[in-house]
Amino acid sequence: MSVMKPVTKWADSCYDTRRIPEYIEMGIRHAVSGNPGPAFLEVPIDVLSGEVEMEDVRFPKMRTEPPILIPARESVVEALEILRGAKKPVMMAGTSVKWSNAASKLQAFIEKTHIPTFVNGMGRGTVKPGTPELMTRVRKEAMQQCDVFICAGVLLDFRLGFGRSIPADAKIIQMDIENELIGTNRSADAAIVGNLAMSFTQMMEVMDEAGDNIDHTSWRDQLIEREQELESAFAANLNSDEVPIDPLRLCREIRDFVADKDVILIGDGGDIVAQASKVLPVPAENCWMDPGPLGTLGVGMPFALAAQLSRPDKRVLIIYGDGSFGLNGFEYDTAVRFDLPIVGIVGVDGVWGQMIRPQAAIYGANRIVATKLNFTRYDKIVEAMGGHGEYCERPEEIGPALERAFASGKPALVNVVMRQDIESGMKGSTYT
Amino acid sequence: MSVMKPVTKWADSCYDTRRIPEYIEMGIRHAVSGNPGPAFLEVPIDVLSGEVEMEDVRFPKMRTEPPILIPARESVVEALEILRGAKKPVMMAGTSVKWSNAASKLQAFIEKTHIPTFVNGMGRGTVKPGTPELMTRVRKEAMQQCDVFICAGVLLDFRLGFGRSIPADAKIIQMDIENELIGTNRSADAAIVGNLAMSFTQMMEVMDEAGDNIDHTSWRDQLIEREQELESAFAANLNSDEVPIDPLRLCREIRDFVADKDVILIGDGGDIVAQASKVLPVPAENCWMDPGPLGTLGVGMPFALAAQLSRPDKRVLIIYGDGSFGLNGFEYDTAVRFDLPIVGIVGVDGVWGQMIRPQAAIYGANRIVATKLNFTRYDKIVEAMGGHGEYCERPEEIGPALERAFASGKPALVNVVMRQDIESGMKGSTYT
Amino acid sequence: MSVMKPVTKWADSCYDTRRIPEYIEMGIRHAVSGNPGPAFLEVPIDVLSGEVEMEDVRFPKMRTEPPILIPARESVVEALEILRGAKKPVMMAGTSVKWSNAASKLQAFIEKTHIPTFVNGMGRGTVKPGTPELMTRVRKEAMQQCDVFICAGVLLDFRLGFGRSIPADAKIIQMDIENELIGTNRSADAAIVGNLAMSFTQMMEVMDEAGDNIDHTSWRDQLIEREQELESAFAANLNSDEVPIDPLRLCREIRDFVADKDVILIGDGGDIVAQASKVLPVPAENCWMDPGPLGTLGVGMPFALAAQLSRPDKRVLIIYGDGSFGLNGFEYDTAVRFDLPIVGIVGVDGVWGQMIRPQAAIYGANRIVATKLNFTRYDKIVEAMGGHGEYCERPEEIGPALERAFASGKPALVNVVMRQDIESGMKGSTYT
Amino acid sequence: MSVMKPVTKWADSCYDTRRIPEYIEMGIRHAVSGNPGPAFLEVPIDVLSGEVEMEDVRFPKMRTEPPILIPARESVVEALEILRGAKKPVMMAGTSVKWSNAASKLQAFIEKTHIPTFVNGMGRGTVKPGTPELMTRVRKEAMQQCDVFICAGVLLDFRLGFGRSIPADAKIIQMDIENELIGTNRSADAAIVGNLAMSFTQMMEVMDEAGDNIDHTSWRDQLIEREQELESAFAANLNSDEVPIDPLRLCREIRDFVADKDVILIGDGGDIVAQASKVLPVPAENCWMDPGPLGTLGVGMPFALAAQLSRPDKRVLIIYGDGSFGLNGFEYDTAVRFDLPIVGIVGVDGVWGQMIRPQAAIYGANRIVATKLNFTRYDKIVEAMGGHGEYCERPEEIGPALERAFASGKPALVNVVMRQDIESGMKGSTYT
C-alpha cells in the first residue's frame, strides 16, 4: 500500500469481503475523475476468498465515465480578449485534449482561426494529418516569435523549457481539465478550466456572438514556408545510403512503409523514438503511444498487446531501441501464445544511446559505465519463440523485410543494424 | 512532511530560496481547487533566511479563487427526470453549497419547488431562516418517507446512516463539486457535478424550458404540521426550572438572547453543541461554525478570534462544553491581548458527556475512566486573564449574565452549572 | 522516495553535492546494522552533477561491518535451564545464523549436544552436509513430538505454521540478532539476543562451567531411523522413467549431477524449487540462494551474475521453473556480454504451477485464468543470444545434457519438458 | 496511521479483536528495543468493542525490558588504544547512559580515570553532583583543547556544532546502544556498541588486565581552576538586585531554594530553561526533565503529573517560561483534580524570548511578529482553578514565595515578573 500510494490517484485496502464491490467502485471513481490515472485496490487473500451472503453485499453503480464539466463563460471571455490582441499566436495541443475527447472541436477551432498548432505527448493524433496549421519542424522558431501561446491541455514542463521557450512578454492562455494544473511552472494570463471540447465550443460560440473574425492565415503561411525549408534541409538526411544504416534512414523507411497503412504506432525507446517522431507524420487519432514524459521504457509489447486485442481490425507496429527491447521483449512469447500478429522493428546500435552520449560528453568515452550492449540477434530470439524474424544490414532491405513481417501473420521482429554514434551524438538527436 | 501529507490536500518542501513564491502559489492553487482544504509548505530555516537577487525570483500570479465549473446539461436533464416523478422529495443541503456560494440559487430553487429542505454541516446558514420549507425536527420522519432524496453538497456519511436512513427504493440525486464524492456509501441515481450555484441555475432553466411545474407545497405543509407537533413536545423540555440547570433550558436561554442580535455562533463541545443546534434556529449565512464531522474539539476560541478579526462589525458567541473549554480556553489570553470582545458561555456538568455516557452504558458506572472533570470556575480564570466573568447556578440568571457579558466590552465567559447526567443520557441528547 | 521507504531499512534524498559522501555512509550504516537490508539514497541529477571544492567535503569513515554484540549471560543461563529439562529438543537454524557468520559455532554446538537440527531460508548451508543431526524429511514429525524448540535465527512465520506446528506445551528458545524479532507470532520462553556465534559460544561456555552433559544421541538416532524410512519411500518416486518427465526425476538427475561438483545452486521458481530443495542434499555454506519467503520470482539470473562475478572459481547452476524463466531470462544476454559460463536448467510444464493448481482446486479446471504458458523452446532463445542450448524430453537425456552445458564454457540452458500436473497436484508438491 | 508512522518506532492497526493482545505485545517490543521510543497501535472502534471467545485469543508474554547487549571485546580494545594516547581527553555523557542504566559504571570509570566530564540531554543526573571531574562552565574551552573526545551515549548534533566544536585532529570514541547512531555527523575513530554499563565495565576490565594506569588528575585540575574563574565571573551576575528581576537572579533564587531539597526539576521554556541549566547544579539521577533537543514546549505539567504520580515521595518543581505556560498551563486543573502538590515557577517577561530576539536582530525591533505576550497574572489563573498562587516583583520575594508554595500542599504557581530583554539578548542567554 505505502508503495502504491505515491504512484496512484487512489490506493486502499479492503478488509471485508462484503465490501469488495464498494471498493472497486471507489477505485474506478477516482481513476476516471479529472485527468485519469491508476487506482490500486489491495484485497488480502483471506478477504478475497472469504464467503458471504449475497444479500449482505451492496453492488454499487459503476460510473466509468467522468462528468463533463463546462468552463465558466467569464473565463472564456477573458481568454478571448487576450487572443483578439494576438498577432502571432501559437497553440500546442496535448494530453488533456485526448482525455476530453476534444479532437473534433479542436479541429474546428483551428479551421476557424488558422492558428499554427503543434502537438505533443498524447496530443499527437488529435489534429488531423494534413491540416495546414499543423506543424512540426518550425516549433522552436514559432515559440520564440509568438505573442500569445495557447496551452491546450499541455503543461509547460521540461519539454517546453518550463515556459522559458516562450518570450517573457508573450501572454499565456491555458486550457485544462483540472485547476491544479493551471499555472504549472509559468503563470497563465487567462485560464479556461473544464472539458476541452466544451472549452473550444464555448470559445467559438462567444466569438460568433461577438462577431469576431480571428484569422491568422498569413502568419500560418509564413510559418509553413519556413517549415518547408527546414523539411527539405532535413529530408536530405533521410536518404543516406550508409552502411551501417543511418538512424534517420531507418525512420524514413518506416515512414514510407506505413504511409498507406492503417497502423497503430508504438514507440519504445529513447533516441530512436525521438527520431521517429520527427520523421513520421503525425499519426491519426489514437494511433500513437510512447513511453511518456518520464521515459518509462519497456512499454512496447505491453501497449501493443492491449492495442491489438482491443483493435483486432488494425495492425500494430512497435518501434524499438535495442536497450528497450531487452526489458520486455520476452513478451513476444505472450503474443505468440495469443496469436497476435504484432510487428516490431528494432534499431540496433549496441548502446543505450541517451545514456552513453551524455556519459561520453561529461566523463569521456573511456569512462563509460553500464551503457554498452551486444549486437544481439533479437530476430532469432523471436523466431525461437515461434515468431517471424528479419535481419537487415543495408537500408534497402528494410522495406521488403517489413512487408514480409506484416505478411507472415505471426508476431514478427525486424532487426536493423544501425550506425553506433557515441561521441558525436546521433544526427538530429535530442542531444544535438 | 510525512506527518502533514495525510491530512492536507498538498504538502511539499521548498529547498531553493528563489522558488519560495512559486511554492506558495502551488499551495494556494491546491488549497482552493475543488472542495477547499489545507495545503502545507515547509521551508527549512536556511532556505527561508537565504538571500537572493530579486531578478532571479519569479513571482507567479496568485489565483485564490477556484474556477466555477458548470455541469453538463445531460446530467441536469437526467436528474430532473427523476425529480419529476417524485411525490415526496426531500433535500439536504450541506458543505458544498457553501463552497459554491450557492445560497441564493438554492433559495430560489426551494421557493420554486417547495421541496422540504434540511441543512447539515457547513450547509447551516445557506437557507434563509424563516423559509417555510426549511425544517429541523421532522428530519428523521421525512427521510423515512421520501421517494427522492437530493444530496445538495451533502455526503451520505455516518450522520445520515451511510444512506441507510433513506428507503432502499428511494432515488438519490447527488450534487457536488467533485466527481470523487459522487456515490460515497450509496450510489447516486443521478449525479450533477459542478459548482452548485450553476447546478441549481441550470435545473431551473431546464425546468422553465420544459414547462415543468414542480410544486410540493402540500407535502411540505404535511411535514410542517408534524414539525410543529414535535416542536411543541420538545418545547415543553425547554422551560425546565430545575437546579442544577437542565442543558435544554440553557440552550433556550441562549436562543432567546441571540434572537434579535447579529451574532456569529461558534460551537465547541459535544453534547451541548448537539443540543444547541436542535434548539437554536438555523443561523444566518456564514454565522455558524462547529467542530465538524470529526468532532475536533478545541476550535472555539481559534475560530472566534478569526471570526471577530475578519468581522469586527459583528459579535461572536462561543457555546462551550466544559471538556472543550479546557483544550484551548487559555486562548482567552489572546483575546485579551488583542482586545476582542468575544463572549463564551460554558455549560459545566463536570464530565466529558459523549464519552462518559457510553462508558457507563457499556462497562457500568463504576468502571468509568478519564472522563470526569472538576466544576472548575472557568469564569474566574477568564477574569484572572483580564476578561469578564459571570457565574450562574439558576436558569433565570443566564439571560442577565449574557447581557452583562456582551455589555462589558471585554472577552467574557458565562459559566453555567448544569445537571450532571451520566447514566441516563442527557435529555434529548444524541444518546437518547 | 515514498515508494522506497516502505521497502528499505533507510531511504533519504541528498540535496547538497558536498554531503553526498555523508549520505552514502548513512546508507551503508543502516544497511548493515542489525539484520541487514537495503538502503536507498536518491541524489537529484543537478546535485549529482554539481561541482564543489574538495575541501568542503567531509569523507566519512565507511563502516561496512556491523558490530558484534554479545548476549547478556543471564539470558543464556535462562535458556540453558529450559534446555536442561528437554527430552526431545529440536533446533531449526535460519537466516540470522548466516548474518552472524555463526556456522562453525552452530556446528560445534550440534556436535556437543547432538540435538536434531533442521535448516530453512538462508540457514541452508550453515550446517555441514553429512552431519548426522542434520535432517530434512522428518521435520514435521520431529516438530510434533518436540518438548523444546530452538529457533536459531529462525522466525515462526507461515513456513512453521506461525508456531502452531509445535506443541502448545513445548518451550521455545529463540536466538536472534534483533530484539524486535523475539516473540514473533509465538512468545519465546527464553530469548538470547545478540550475534549467534557469540550466543552459541556462551551457551557452550556456561554448559562447561556448569558441568552440563547434554547429549541427545538416542533421540537423534530415533529420528534418523524414521528419516531413512521416509527417504526410501520418497526415493521410490525419484526413479520414474515416465515421459513426459516426472519433476522428481528431474530433481534426482540434478542431484546426481551436482553430487561431486563445487556448484552454487540458485533456485528461481515455485514448485520446482520446492521439489528440488527436498531432493537435493543441503548444500555447502553460502551455496544456496532462492526467492525467499515472499517468493520473489525472477531472481535466478541476477543472483547468478552476482555469484559468478564474486566467485569466479565456482560454477553456478540455476534451477528454473518456466514461469520464472520468462521474467528475467532475457538477462542471459548479459551473461553472454560478460562471458560468464552460468548454466540453467528449466523444468517446462507449460503452466504457473503454484497458481494453476489452487485455481483448479477452488474454481474448477475450466475456470483457469492467466496461468497457462507455451512449451516454449527456451534453449533456442539462449542459443539465439549466443549461448548454448540443450533440449531433453526423456529422463536419461538430462545428465548428458548438463555435462555438455557445463563443458560448453558458455552461458547455457537445459530445457527439460516435464509432465503437466494441473488437477492432481505435483507428486510430493507443496500442495499435497 | 500515516500521521503516526513518521514519529514513532512502530505503528500499526489491528483489524481482529482476537489479536489485540498480540499487537500490544508488538508495540511494547518495538518501543523498548534499542534506544526506546513511542509505538502506536490503532484499534478501530468496532474491533475494540468486538466480542470474542477467550480461547481464541493468544496472550503473549510481555517483555517490557530490552535485552542487555555486551560490546565485542575487540571494539573496547581498539577504543582503549586511542584513550591511552590521550593527553587531554574529555567525555560527554548523554541520553544513552540513562537508557543503559549506566550511571554507576560511568561514575566508577570517571573515578578511575579522572577524565573531565560534561553531561547533556538526558545524561544530566547520571554523574553524581559534586564529582570533581563533572564540569559545566568550561565546556567550550575543554572541547577546543581536547585530543580525545568520548561521546558516551551522546550524538554530535547541533548542540555540539555537529562535531565541529572539537578539533579536527582530535580522536572520537563513540559509545552507544545502536550501531545506527555511530558516526552521526562526524566519524568515530573507535566505536563501542552495546549497553553502556557493559561497555564501561569492559573498559575497566581490559584496563585492569592490561595494567593500564590512566589518570588525568592534573588535566582535570587545570580545568577545575578555569571552571572556578568562569563561575566567579558568572556568579557576579547572579546577585543583581534589579527590578524588574534579572533572569539570572531568578535562577539563583531557585538554586538556593532547591539546594537542600529532594526535588524533581522539570524545565518547560526556552531561554529561562537554558539559563536555569547553567545556574542550577547538575541534578541527582532521574531528577531532570526538559523539552529535549527539539524544544517541544508545553511538556511541563504533563511531565510533572507523571513524575509526581510515579514518585509520590518526592516534590516536583516546574521552571516555566511564560510562552510555555500558555501551552499546557491549563493542566493545573488536572493537578487540582488529582490533588497533586506540584509547584511551578514562571518567569514572566511578556515575550517569546528565543523568537523575539532573533526577529529583532534580523528584521529590526519594529518588525516583530507574533512574539509578544501580556504580563498575565498566571498565579491568579491557578488560584481560580483551586490552586495556590504567588506573585513576585522583587528578587527578595522569590524565596519566601517558593516556601509558601511548597508549604501550601496544593498545586501552586509562583509568578515572577522579569526584565524584558528584546534587543540586547538576555544576559548570558543562548543568543549571546
- Interacting residues of D286 by C-beta distance below 8 A, sequence separation 6+: D98, D125, D264
All cell numbers assigned to A366:
573511456
Report the C-alpha dihedral over residues D86, D88, D89, D93, rounded to 10 degrees: 180
Task: Using CB atoms within 10 Å of the CB of residue C304, give its burial: 0 to 12 exposed, 13 to 18 middle, 19+ buried.
Answer: buried
Q: How far is C209 from chain D (nearest CA, A)?
A: 20
Q: Which of residues 330-359 of A touch C (CB under 8 A)?
A: 330, 333, 336-337
Please tell me the distance from the alpha carbon of residue B357 to that of residue B278, in angstroms, as a whole number: 20
All cell numbers assigned to A267:
514507440
C-alpha closest to that of C28 among C67, C68, C69, C63 = C63
Q: Given a cut of 90, is residue C254 above it in pLDDT? A: yes
Do strands C171-176 and C148-152 pair parallel, antiparallel, or not at all (unpaired)? Answer: parallel
Please tell me the distance from the alpha carbon of residue D432 to that of residue D425, in angstroms, as a whole number: 6
Please tell me the distance from the alpha carbon of residue A250 to that of residue A238, in angstroms, as a whole number: 8
Q: Given a cut of 90, is residue A361 above it in pLDDT? A: no
Q: How far is A384 from chain C (nearest CA, A)?
A: 5
B263 neighbors B287 (Cβ within 8 angstroms): yes
Distances (CA, A) of A138 to A224, A228, A281: 8, 9, 14
Chain D CB within 8 Å of residue C183 CB: yes
Q: How far is B305 from chain D (nearest CA, A)?
A: 14
Please tell me the distance from the alpha carbon of residue B167 to that of residue B86, in angstroms, as a whole number: 14
Distances (CA, A) of B4 to B28, C109, D5, D134: 16, 52, 12, 42
Tell me which residue in D29, D72, D188 faces C70 most closely, judged by beta carbons.
D72
Question: Scanning the structure block, which residue is given the C-alpha cell 542550577?
Answer: D280
- Interacting residues of A203 by C-beta distance below 8 A, sequence separation 6+: A76, A79, A80, A109, A192
All cell numbers assigned to C419:
509432465
| Residue D77, amino acid | V
Q: What is the pLDDT along chain D (432 residues), one digit of tens a residue?
A: 888 988 999 999 999 999 999 999 999 999 999 889 999 999 998 899 899 999 999 999 999 999 999 999 999 999 999 999 999 999 999 999 999 999 999 999 999 999 999 999 889 999 998 999 999 999 999 999 999 999 999 999 988 999 999 999 999 999 999 999 999 999 999 999 999 999 999 999 999 999 999 999 999 999 999 999 998 887 777 889 999 999 999 999 999 999 989 999 999 999 999 889 888 887 888 899 999 888 899 999 999 999 999 999 999 999 999 999 999 999 999 999 999 999 999 999 999 988 898 888 888 888 899 999 999 999 999 999 999 999 999 999 999 999 999 999 999 999 999 999 887 554 444 333
Tell me which residue in C5, C374, C377 faces A2 most closely, judged by beta carbons.
C5
Widest distance between CA atoms in chain C:
72
Residue of A179, A181, A202 to mutate, interface with B, max B Cβ within 10 Å: A179
Question: Scanning the structure block, which residue is given the C-alpha cell 488560584?
Answer: D383
Residue of B10, B16, B59, B68 to mutate, interface with A, max A Cβ within 10 Å: B68
Convert D174-199 to b/e letters by CB count within 10 Å (16 or more is b): bbbbbbbbbbbbbbbbbbbbbbbbbb
Do strands C69-71 and D69-71 pair parallel, antiparallel, or not at all (unpaired)? Answer: antiparallel
C-alpha closest to that of C237 among C229, C246, C245 = C246
Strands (E), D107-262: 117-119, 148-152, 171-176, 190-193
Please tell me the distance from the alpha carbon of residue B359 to that of residue B417, in angstroms, as a whole number: 22
Question: Cα angle at B7 between B5 and B8, to 5 degrees?
Answer: 70
CA D236 to chain centre: 26
Helices and strands counted in chain A (H then E): 16, 14
Please tell me the distance from the alpha carbon of residue D319 to that of residue D296, in angstroms, as a whole number: 14
Q: Do B329 and D330 touch (CB under 8 A)?
A: yes
Q: What is the pLDDT along chain B (432 residues), one digit of tens a residue?
A: 788 988 999 999 999 999 999 999 999 999 999 889 999 999 998 899 899 999 999 999 999 999 999 999 999 999 999 999 999 999 999 999 999 999 999 999 999 999 999 999 889 999 998 999 999 999 999 999 999 999 999 999 988 999 999 999 999 999 999 999 999 999 999 999 999 999 999 999 999 999 999 999 999 999 999 999 998 887 777 889 999 999 999 999 999 999 989 999 999 999 999 889 888 887 888 899 999 888 899 999 999 999 999 999 999 999 999 999 999 999 999 999 999 999 999 999 999 988 898 888 888 888 899 999 999 999 999 999 999 999 999 999 999 999 999 999 999 999 999 999 887 554 444 333
Q: Do C29 and D182 touch (CB under 8 A)?
A: yes
C96-114 per-position pLDDT tens digit:
999 999 999 999 999 999 9
Q: Do A69 and B25 touch (CB under 8 A)?
A: no
pLDDT of residue D199: 98
Distances (CA, A) of D60 to A355, D68, D99, D199: 55, 21, 25, 32
- 3-state secondary structure (DSSP) of residue C118: strand
- Interacting residues of B272 by C-beta distance below 8 A, sequence separation 6+: B247, B250, B251, B319, B320, B321, B347, B353
Tell me which residue in C29, C74, C183 faces D25 most closely, judged by beta carbons.
C183
Tell me which residue in D61, D69, D187 faces C71 most closely, judged by beta carbons.
D69
Q: Do A178 and B33 touch (CB under 8 A)?
A: yes
Please tell me the distance from the alpha carbon of residue A305 to that of residue A332, in angstroms, as a whole number: 9
Please tell me the distance from the alpha carbon of residue A282 to that of residue A135, in angstroms, as a whole number: 9
Residues in chain C: 432
Please tell me the distance from the alpha carbon of residue B314 to that of residue D137, in angstroms, as a whole number: 57
Q: Do B72 and A71 touch (CB under 8 A)?
A: no
C-alpha closest to that of C325 among C287, C352, C356, C293 = C352
Distances (CA, A) of C417 to A93, A335, C255, C351, D254: 54, 21, 18, 12, 87
Question: Cα angle at D72 between D71 and D73, to 5 degrees?
Answer: 110
Please tell me the distance from the alpha carbon of residue B318 to that of residue B378, in angstroms, as a whole number: 14
| Residue B44, amino acid | P
DSSP B16-46: -GGGHHHHHHHHHHHHHSSS---EEEE--HH
Q: How far is B288 from chain A (nearest CA, A)?
A: 29
Q: Which residues pair with D42 in a beta bridge?
A: D13
Please tell me the distance from the alpha carbon of residue D253 to that of residue D392, in angstroms, as a whole number: 12
Task: Using CB atoms within 10 Å of the CB of residue A167, give its burial: 0 to 12 exposed, 13 to 18 middle, 19+ buried.
Answer: middle
Widest distance between CA atoms in chain D:
72
C-alpha closest to that of B153 among B277, B291, B274, B35 = B35
Convert C345-383 to b/e letters by CB count within 10 Å (16 or more is b): bbbbbbbbbbebbebbeeeeeeebeebebbebbbbbbbb
What chains are in contact with D, requiring at least 3 Cβ pairs below 8 Å? B, C
Chain A CB within 8 Å of residue C397 CB: no
Residue of B61, B156, B202 to mutate, interface with A, max A Cβ within 10 Å: B61
C-alpha closest to that of A238 among A118, A398, A131 = A398
pLDDT of residue B428: 45
Please tell me the distance from the alpha carbon of residue A176 to that of residue A225, in angstroms, as a whole number: 31
All cell numbers assigned to D47:
474491533
C356-413 per-position pLDDT tens digit:
988 888 888 888 999 999 999 999 999 999 999 999 999 999 999 999 999 999 999 9
Widest distance between CA atoms in chain B:
72
Tell me which residue in B60, B71, B189 faces A187 most closely, judged by beta carbons.
B60
Q: How far is A338 from chain B (nearest CA, A)?
A: 37
The strands making up B148-152's β-sheet, listed across from edge to edge, are B117-119, B89-93, B148-152, B171-176, B190-193
Please tell me the distance from the alpha carbon of residue B397 to that of residue C119, in angstroms, as a whole number: 81
| Residue B174, amino acid | Q
Please tell me the distance from the alpha carbon of residue A315 to that of residue B221, in angstroms, as a whole number: 67
Chain D CB within 8 Å of residue C107 CB: no
Chain C CB within 8 Å of residue A6 CB: yes
Tell me which residue in C32, C66, C72 faces D67 most closely, judged by beta carbons.
C72
All cell numbers assigned to B67:
474556477
Chain B CB within 8 Å of residue D301 CB: no
- Interacting residues of C139 by C-beta distance below 8 A, sequence separation 6+: C118
Q: Do C333 and A3 touch (CB under 8 A)?
A: no
